[in-house]
Amino acid sequence: MPLLQKLLRRSALLLPALLLAGCNMVVLNPSGDIAAQQGRLIVISTLLMLLIIVPVIALTLLFAWRYRQSNTEATYKPDWDHSTQLELVIWAAPLLIIIALGALTWISTHTLDPYRPLDRIAEGRHVPEGTQPLVVEVVALDWKWLFFYPEQGIATVNELAAPVDRPIQFKITASSVMNSFYVPALAGMIYAMPGMETKLHAVINQPGVYEGFSANYSGAGFSGMRFKFHGLAGAEFDSWVQKAKAEGKTLGRPDYLQLEKPSEREPVRRYASVAPGLYDAILNRCVEPGKMCMRHMMAVDASGGAGKAGLSPLALTEVPRGEQGLPMRTVAAEICTADNPTGAPLPIRTTLQ
């Protein structure tokens, strides 16, 4: 029986090690320079905090053992109430740690600002002069990811690729609810919000296939909202683009409106071309025909608004320059009512175009 107990005890000690052996420590061992800097920041901050936490835990256990009731040899001072040396240690040490953490946080917050263009592609390697970042426009849908490549003229669903050692500029938005874009090997998590555009600058330094996913709960299909990020070396990225152009079809506005509908675990799709201005229309929430873009609506508000007439379901608004750069006439989206809770345009509005 004692032998069995020893075996069980040793097995219990080995179990956590076996479970942790299968963990992927990508956050602390990433393949992108921004994520690597963020990982080092986590390690340094943790070590600084452990300078206080470990001694406090050790001293708590020491005091509990040394001054236990059965230890009659411990010094007993019932009238003790102050020690200048002890007060200095108790207050000075945490204060120095807080100052160090504050300085580290201040510097890192500005250095790793996701909106800040990269000035290096890796430690000791500056961005070559004249290098332009790869622009990727990201749209979080229910429940899938849509990626536009404006320079290459293609789009993909649930598949992202970028050349190794080339800066990437992500422009991120969402179609409905708030979401978050996260590739742990590349950089930190950035929120995606409808009607707003957030940005992220990053770079991948090693070829490979990495996991990307949503890190913000967004409904029933959230768990399957994942994609593969391909870090491609040399001419592999160009081959990937040509493959998308050869296999894909055109992503027009009607196609996008179908794609936007909620669906789960969508397969990878590639589009050889994209309707002009589609990402901008998604960002401004005016993909549907006859719907006023947010930027036009804000321009009307900035010029004084449409007055009471703007509340009418039949209200028309003159927009000096339309979405395609041509004069146009458009109408605002319907105001939310009990009969029309979503504020969808009424059929009569589209007939006025």
Phi, psi of 55 (to 5 degrees): -60, -40
Q: How many CB atoms lie within 10 A of CB 220?
A: 10
Q: By C-alpha distance, which of 250, 244, 260 is closest to 174? A: 260
Q: Say what the pTM is.
A: 0.75
pLDDT for the residue numbered 342: 57
The DSSP output letter for 240 is H
Q: Which 3 state secondary structure label does DSSP give 242?
A: helix
SS3 state at 259: helix
Phi first, then psi: give them for residue 313, nearest 5 degrees.
-60, -20
Rounded to a whole number of angstroms, the CA Rg of the chain reads: 29
- Of all helices (H) and strands (E), which one includes residue 159? strand 159-163
Q: What confidence score (pLDDT) does residue 12 get?
A: 57
DSSP per residue, 199-219: EEEE-B-S-EEEEEEE-S--S
Element (H, E) at 225: none
Q: Side-chain half-sphere of 168: how many Cα atoms within 13 Å?
A: 30
Walking along the chain (353 residues) 10 residues at a time, the average pLDDT comes out as: 58 54 66 88 91 91 88 81 85 90 90 91 89 95 95 95 95 93 93 94 94 90 93 91 90 93 92 93 89 81 63 48 51 58 53 35
Give me the pLDDT at residue 351, please.
Answer: 35
Contacts of residue 268, defined as CB under 8 A and 6 or more positions apart, other chains included, come to 156, 157, 158, 159, 228
Output the DSSP codes for 40-107: HHHHHHHHHHHHHHHHHHHHHHHHHHHT-TT-TTS---TT----HHHHHHHHHHHHHHHHHHHHHHHH
Select from 121, 131, 130 the least CA-distant residue to 164.
Answer: 121
Positive or negative CA dihedral for 313, 316, 319, 323?
positive
DSSP per residue, 291-349: BPPHHHHHHHHHTT--GGGGGSTT--EEESS-TTSS-EEEBPPPPP-SS-TT-PPPHHH
